[in-house]
Amino acid sequence: MTHPDAAATLRPTADAAPVLRVDDLHVRFRIPGGVLRAVDGVSFAVQHGETLGLVGESGSGKSTLGHLALGFFAPTAGTVRYRGADLRRLGRAERHRFRREVQAIPQDPFASYNPFYLVEHALEVPLRRFGLARNRGACRRMIEEACAGVGLNPGDTLGRYPHQLSGGQRQRLMVARALLLQPRLLIADEPVSMIDASLRATILGNIAELNRRHGIGILYITHDLTTAYHIADAVVVLYRGHVVEFGPTESVIAAPSHPYTQLLIDSIPWPDLARSWGSLPLRTAVVDASDHAGGCPFRARCPVASPVCAQAPTLREAAAGHAVSCHLFDTQPPLDGAEQSALLRQPYRAGNSHQRPEGASDTLAAASEGTKP
Ligand SMILES: Nc1ncnc2c1ncn2[C@@H]1O[C@H](COP(=O)(O)OP(=O)(O)OP(=O)(O)O)[C@@H](O)[C@H]1O
Ligand code: SF4
Ligand SMILES: [Mg+2]
């Protein structure tokens, strides 16, 4: 799948700045009846060659953060930096480079195709725009190789219109497109959500290989902790636009500290129905966007909420490199802005050994049988 011209321009970088860094991001959307805080003070960083998982349930703000990282729109407040440069201050040439080096696997693959063009158009355009193929023949060969790399038969796939492919086939072509362009940063938003289990391992393997061989940073967005467990070096757990927990993948998943993370792990299908991570009677509830104003965003669903939870908790280090935002950890010293940033920016590459410790990660390993890249 690697074209020599493309590979020559992309080597693991020695940049000091993280490939992506976001600081204190806020996004507010106007909605009927008020304002929705989709993202509320989120900071994290993706280092070169590192995969950061952004996990949380539907509506927690994952795709919004992915769109901010892609520069689709500007945050209400806060900064997004690509290799140290503020996205709002990129000049014309830098923006062109950014478009070349930052690629996405979108959550809704249909929206990425022009319905009036054959599907290969979506791959040809960037190859031509960024001068990655020497001629039409090379372009065609690269596209066919990319298709084969994600398990698509080029003869059955190319020459068709987007509506003539299944959702999974469209998504696989988007994965092929991202891998073909060999970015420095990949924003992968639920990249295997429409792909059946038998192919997930291959696709995740392709993404992991890109990461390992070329030092590409990946922001892996998912509601599925099982795939995050296998692919991510570190995870950030989001709840309603807030970071509630983050740290090395093994640490967060083997010892989830926040009641919400425990809920996420507890809700993974487990072969032994009698087994769960803990005994907390966590509730799923429809909560109003404004009902946490000033307090913990999780308190309407939290079984251990207490009066102090009417005050917003702050991030505290629960274990080495592992932070949690919950009053249960008020005995730990709070992380000031600088400490939080340092923790969020530390490299986690060594953190995910993919060994299976006792406890919760057994649940993940069992539930994701066959997904390990
Ligand atoms: N353009 C918009 N205008 C108004 N509200 C929006 C807009 N985009 C997103 N939202 C809202 O912001 C919140 C976060 O949306 P987002 O798409 O980021 O969630 P998500 O975590 O990606 O969810 P999912 O797992 O379902 O994809 C949701 O409540 C959503 O309805
Ligand atoms: S701060 Fe309170 S409501 Fe929020 S998760 Fe912790 S215990 Fe539950
Ligand atoms: Mg989404």
pLDDT tens track for 223-243: 988 889 889 999 999 999 999
The confidence band for 206, taking pLDDT boundaries of 50, 70 and 90, is confident
List the structure tokens of 125. Answer: 């355009």
List the structure tokens of 14. Answer: 């020695």
The greatest distance separating any two alpha carbons of the chain, rounded to the nearest whole angstrom, comes to 68
List the structure tokens of 36. Answer: 């929705």
Q: Report the length, in residues, of the chain.
A: 373
Residue 11: predicted pLDDT = 32
The confidence band for 4, taking pLDDT boundaries of 50, 70 and 90, is very low
Nearest CA to ligand 1 atom 31: 59
Average pLDDT, the chain: 82
Report the alpha-carbon distance of residue 37 to residue 261 in Å, rounded. 21
Average confidence (pLDDT) over 22-42: 94
Contact, 55 vs 235, CB < 8 A? yes
Annotated domain spans of the chain:
4-223, 238-367
Average confidence (pLDDT) over 273-285: 50
Report the alpha-carbon distance of residue 253 to residue 323 in Å, rounded. 13
Contact, 28 vs 35, CB < 8 A? yes
Residue 205: predicted pLDDT = 84
Residue 301: predicted pLDDT = 92
**What tens digit of pLDDT does each residue of 172-188 get?**
899 899 888 889 999 99
Which among 302, 311, 314, 332 is the best mutation to test ligand 2's pocket, defined by most ligand atoms within 8 Å of the CB?
Answer: 302
pLDDT greater than 70 at residue 349: no
Architecture per CATH, 4-223: 3-Layer(aba) Sandwich (3.40)
Residues with CB under 6 A from ligand 2: 258-259, 296, 298-299, 302, 304-305, 309, 313, 326-328
**What tens digit of pLDDT does each residue of 149-161 get?**
888 999 999 999 9
Q: What value does the CA radius of gyration of the chain take, rounded to a whole number of Å?
A: 21
List the structure tokens of 95. Answer: 């923006």
Ligand 1 atom closest to residue 57's alpha carbon, by position in its atom list? 25
List the structure tokens of 86. Answer: 């503020």
* Amino acid letter, 360: A
Residue 372: predicted pLDDT = 36
